[in-house]
Amino acid sequence: MATNKTDKRGPTGQKRPHRKSRRGCQQCKQAKIKCDEQKPSCGHCSRFQSKCSFLTTTPTPFSASDSSLRSPEASPSTLNQSHDTRCSTASPSAGLITGSGIALDVNNLELLHHYTTTTSITLSARPELQQIWQQVVPRLAFAHNFLLHGILAFSALHLAHLQPERKALLYAEASAHHDLGLHMFQTAMTCITPQNCDACFAFSSIIAAYAWASSNETGDLFFSDLSTSEVNVEWVSLLRGVHTLLQVAGEWMTNGPMSLMLQDRHIDPELANAVDSEVSAKLIALRQLCFSPGLNVKDAEVLEKTLILLQEAHGLIASSSIDHEIDAVLVVYGWPIQVPEAFFTMVKEQRPEALVVLAHYSLLLNKVNQLWYMKGMSRRLLKTIHGKLGKEWESWITWPLQLLVLAEFEGGGDSGGLL
């Protein structure tokens, strides 16, 4: 009997296989065609240069339902396994299946390769510290998933910096890795052990750099919201987490794989003065702030201690040109970790004396401005402080303002409205 309906059986009389794609992109579903489900853009959308819905979907670097993400201490081998075992070579971003059946995520392999060959080298200027970031930290990451997510997130940001045409996708990958890693890191920090303390230290250092690099030079280092009078210490709180970690696990870490980064370096004030007399004289002059009528004795002591540490840090940076064992990044990171917590309470309260000292820390930040993940930090901080201080305090920050504007012009950059 004739019928107008399409026969669903093939020439052999067997029922034709179901060809619909349940997980295809929206464009293919609307066109009622089979989607090959390739990421980040399916084959059909790529051929016709259509905007594929996969491009707007936040990638899941490792499946959130994967048991390997439920515990920071999961086996490294389970991290590479995937619930999706299909093999496809149509797109370089697709997962590949090895002969042993282990799924390899090419995106993550690219990020890990970029970290070990390129990104890790940018974390220090000292060869021996570069070796730690390049070799030791990845080994730690294979045993601690939160650190692996951390280095992949940071690597994705660096790759986006070098390849801006891929920025949207790489930032999405970075964000996904960062969120997963941070959640697991917070869990790990509730129970510091000799086994995880070094990985926690490495993650804390990377996450501080990530926080600024991911903000596109528009974030706030010490202030959460410029549009309100209520402020919170933000970027610095990530570094202060290292201080807490060292209090708990400092003894364990002394003999651990990251011990070289923990070596205290100090410089005698007289030597600091000899290395850079102008800077030393300016910082010594700031001690007049300790006699400000608005300060009580306790606050004055906090401010004096903070200034001594700042003078020492400037002296170490100035000495780094002749003492190659001094790492500028560690010095810049070290100052916020070492200063009294009470100082940052004063910053949160927007006490002008504390803001003036912080303005002079911006000069320290400018010493590492050439690093891709530190670029713009000093200018942003000083501009923020300049906007918060009243006219009566402006003369106290004239020197850092002039130096940073001069540095901008010498570097061929824009002063960004500092003055």
- HSE-CB for 91 with a 13 A CA cutoff: 18
Q: What is the mean pLDDT of residues 338-348?
A: 91
Based on the domain organization, do 119 and 199 belong to the same domain? yes
**SS3 labels along 306-357:** HHHHHHHHHHHHHHCCCCCCCCHHHHHHHHHHHCCHHHHHHHHCCCHHHHHH
Q: Considering the chain, what is the average pLDDT of its residues?
A: 78
CA 141, CA 148: separation in Å to the nearest integer? 5
CA 259, CA 274: separation in Å to the nearest integer? 30
Alpha helices in 32-133 (DSSP H): 43-47, 76-79, 106-117, 127-131
Structural domain containing residue 202: 107-213
CA 411, CA 406: separation in Å to the nearest integer? 8
Based on the domain organization, do 272 and 399 belong to the same domain? yes
Domain total in the chain: 2
pLDDT of residue 294: 82
pLDDT digits (tens, 9 = 90+) for 259-268: 988 877 666 6
Of the residues 213, 244, 272, the one at which a domain ends: 213
Based on the domain organization, do 180 and 295 belong to the same domain? no
pLDDT digits (tens, 9 = 90+) for 360-407: 999 999 999 999 999 988 888 898 899 899 889 999 999 998 888 776
DSSP 173-231: HHHHHHHHHHHHHHHHHTS--TTTHHHHHHHHHHHHHHHHHTTTT-S-SS-S-TTSS--
Phi, psi of 105 (to 5 degrees): -90, 110
Of the residues 193, 213, 233, the one at which a domain ends: 213
Q: Which run of H or E residues covers position 96?
A: strand 95-97
Based on the domain organization, do 187 and 268 belong to the same domain? no
Say whether 281 sits in a helix, a strand or coil.
helix
Based on the domain organization, do 303 and 368 belong to the same domain? yes
Of the residues 171, 197, 213, the one at which a domain ends: 213
pLDDT for 2 beyond 60: no
DSSP 17: P
pLDDT for 147 beyond 80: yes
Query: Between helices 297-319 and 341-348, what is the axis angle to 10°?
Result: 110
Two structure tokens written together for 201? 């230290």
Q: Cis before residue 127, ω within 30 degrees of 0?
A: no
CA 328, CA 365: separation in Å to the nearest integer? 9
Based on the domain organization, do 203 and 310 belong to the same domain? no
Give 221's pLDDT tier (boundaries 50, 70, 90).
low
What is the distance between the terminal CA atoms of the chain, rounded to a whole angstrom? 89
Based on the domain organization, do 270 and 208 belong to the same domain? no
Based on the domain organization, do 141 and 277 belong to the same domain? no
CA 297, CA 312: separation in Å to the nearest integer? 23
Q: What is the mean pLDDT of residues 42-60?
A: 62
Which residues fall within 8 angstroms of residue 181, CB to CB, at 6 or more apart? 145, 146, 147, 148, 149, 150, 153, 203
Two structure tokens written together for 248? 């708990």
Two structure tokens written together for 247? 């209090």
pLDDT for 335 beyond 50: yes
285 occurs within a structural domain:
yes
321 occurs within a structural domain:
yes
Amino acid identity for residue 148 in this structure: L
Assess contact for 200 and 258: CB atoms under 8 A. Answer: no
pLDDT for 62 beyond 60: no
Based on the domain organization, do 283 and 343 belong to the same domain? yes
pLDDT for 87 beyond 80: no
Whether pTM exceeds 0.75: no
Based on the domain organization, do 400 and 322 belong to the same domain? yes
pLDDT of residue 97: 45
101 occurs within a structural domain:
no
pLDDT of residue 348: 87
Based on the domain organization, do 272 and 367 belong to the same domain? yes
DSSP 136-160: IHHHHHHH-HHHHHHHHHHHHHHHH
pLDDT for 39 beyond 60: yes
> Where is mean pLDDT largest: 215-219, 319-323, 338-342?
338-342
CA 198, CA 192: separation in Å to the nearest integer? 10
Q: What is the mean pLDDT of residues 109-116?
A: 97
What is the Cα 399 distance to its own chain's centre? 30
CA 104, CA 98: separation in Å to the nearest integer? 8
90 occurs within a structural domain:
no
316 occurs within a structural domain:
yes
Based on the domain organization, do 203 and 269 belong to the same domain? no
The CA-CA-CA angle for residues 52, 53, 54, to 5°, reads 90
61 occurs within a structural domain:
no
98 occurs within a structural domain:
no
pLDDT of residue 202: 95
417 occurs within a structural domain:
no
Q: When comparing pLDDT for 359 and 54, which is higher?
A: 359
Weakest mean pLDDT among 85-94, 113-122, 180-189, 286-295: 85-94
